Amino acid sequence: MIAANLNSTTQSQLLEGAAVANQIKQEVRAEIERLLAAQKKAPCLAAVQVGDDPASAVYVRNKILACAEVGIRSEHHALPESTTTSELLELVRSLNSRNEVDGILTQLPLPKGVDETVVIDEIDPQKDVDGFHPINVGRLALGRPQLTPCTPAGIIELLDYYQVDIRGMNACVVGRSQIVGRPMAQLLLQRDATVTICHSRTRDLAAETRQADLLIVAIGRAGMIGREHIKPGAVVIDVGMNRLTGPDEVRAMFGSEATKRLEVLAKKGSTLVGDVRPSDAMEVAGRFTPVPGGVGLLTVAMLMKNTLKAARLRREL
């Protein structure tokens, strides 16, 4: 991947995800064009959505649009809220058996009453483009990854693009989910970082995070991380995706930079924010990711890359 030029002494540098995501998608599109030129079929991604959750609908739509952008064939399987675990498993088994389908994703969260663990376990590990199947989790833990969860993999791509040398860094991951926190820690370890994982039971969170040269936050609480948590000059990656609906919340979060966000709030009724207070990060961190415009863009781009990789592995291309 082409790297961005970045002076390591630059303070408060925004690590924007758009350029990185576009680079990834361009690489995927070029590879698919080569496959088609060699008279090979384009990869196919099957996206499964259960219920009518508005956020899930947006995420699935964005993934389908990204498929069209890079040349991946896509299928959208929309199931009603009343779908049972057994009915969803039947669809997953059908997709597993279809040779022309290279990747399967089930948009999370699933409705109450549907067992996510059972559904994820049923997906063919070779088609598990989210990287959540126990076999893919185990391969990652062993340092032999094939299909890696998209958000952590995208963060590594972002750090590489901006020439952040992970080797030897003190890295702290706030959050221990199977989707971001744990796989993120594994990827950092494999890049020779010294890794600390913090979570809701960490006794003195700020004392831990202030030691980090690289702080990755995926806790799911708007503005939880402030200046007291950030080591001066640290690289801060904000994975949080939260919505604020009150003007006072927005002012507290953004300080003197709140005007634009208040305009968004007035227009849309909410504004998207991360787990880190951006006004604090701007003053203390050396580099940090904005929300929106940071990590979120990379998750979809890495899904495209994983789908291409799944196709290559399955077809031995």
Using CA atoms, how far residue 107 sits from 104, 119, 155, 170, in Å, is: 10, 11, 20, 33
- Give me the mean pLDDT over the 91-98 stretch: 98
Domain coverage including residue 261: 149-297
On whether residue 33 sits in a domain, the answer given is no
| Cα gap 84→26, rounded to integer Å | 39
Residue 162 resides in a domain: yes
Alpha helices in 98-226 (DSSP H): 116-122, 134-141, 150-161, 181-190, 205-209
Classify residue 2 by its DSSP letter. Answer: P
pLDDT band, residue 11 (cuts 50/70/90)? low
Peptide bond into 80 cis (omega under 30): no
Please indicate, yes or no, whether residues 262 and 217 belong to a single structural domain of this protein: yes
pLDDT bucket at 6, cuts 50 / 70 / 90: very low
Same domain, 107 and 196: no
Given its phi and psi angles, is residue 77 left (phi above 0), alpha (psi -120 to 50 degrees) or beta? beta
C-beta of residue 281 within 8 angstroms of C-beta of residue 216: no
The yes-or-no answer on residue 231 being catalytic is no
Q: What is the CATH classification number for the domain harbouring 281?
A: 3.40.50.720
Q: Say if residue 114 is in the same domain as residue 247.
A: no
Which of the following is catalytic: 25, 49, 102, 107? 107
pLDDT tens digit sequence for 120-171: 999 999 999 999 999 999 999 999 999 999 999 999 999 999 999 999 999 9
pLDDT beyond 70 at 3: no
- Clarify whether residues 153 and 94 are in a common domain: no
pTM, entire model: 0.93
Backbone angles phi, psi at 188, to 5 degrees: -65, -40
Q: What pLDDT sits at residue 252?
A: 87
Section 281-288 average pLDDT: 95
Q: How many domains does the chain have?
A: 2
User: Is 130 assigned a catalytic role?
Assistant: yes
Cα–Cα distance measured from residue 212 to residue 229, given in angstroms and rounded to the nearest whole number: 9
Q: What is the pLDDT of residues 222-246, one digit of tens each?
A: 999 999 999 999 999 999 999 999 9
Helix, strand, or coil (residue 239): coil
Cα–Cα distances in angstroms (integers) from residue 91 to residues 25, 72, 86, 211, in the given order: 29, 21, 9, 47
Q: Whole-number mean pLDDT of the chain?
A: 94
Residue 7 lies in a domain: no
> Residue 44 domain-assigned?
yes
Q: Is 241 among the domain residues?
A: yes
CATH number where 111 lies: 3.40.50.10860
Residue 28, SS3 per DSSP: helix
Residue 316 counted as domain residue: no
**Active-site pick, 25, 49, 63, 231:** 63
Decide which of 125, 140, 166 is a domain's last residue.
125
The residue annotated as part of the active site, out of 102, 128, 130, 238, is 130
Question: What is the reported pLDDT for 256?
Answer: 81
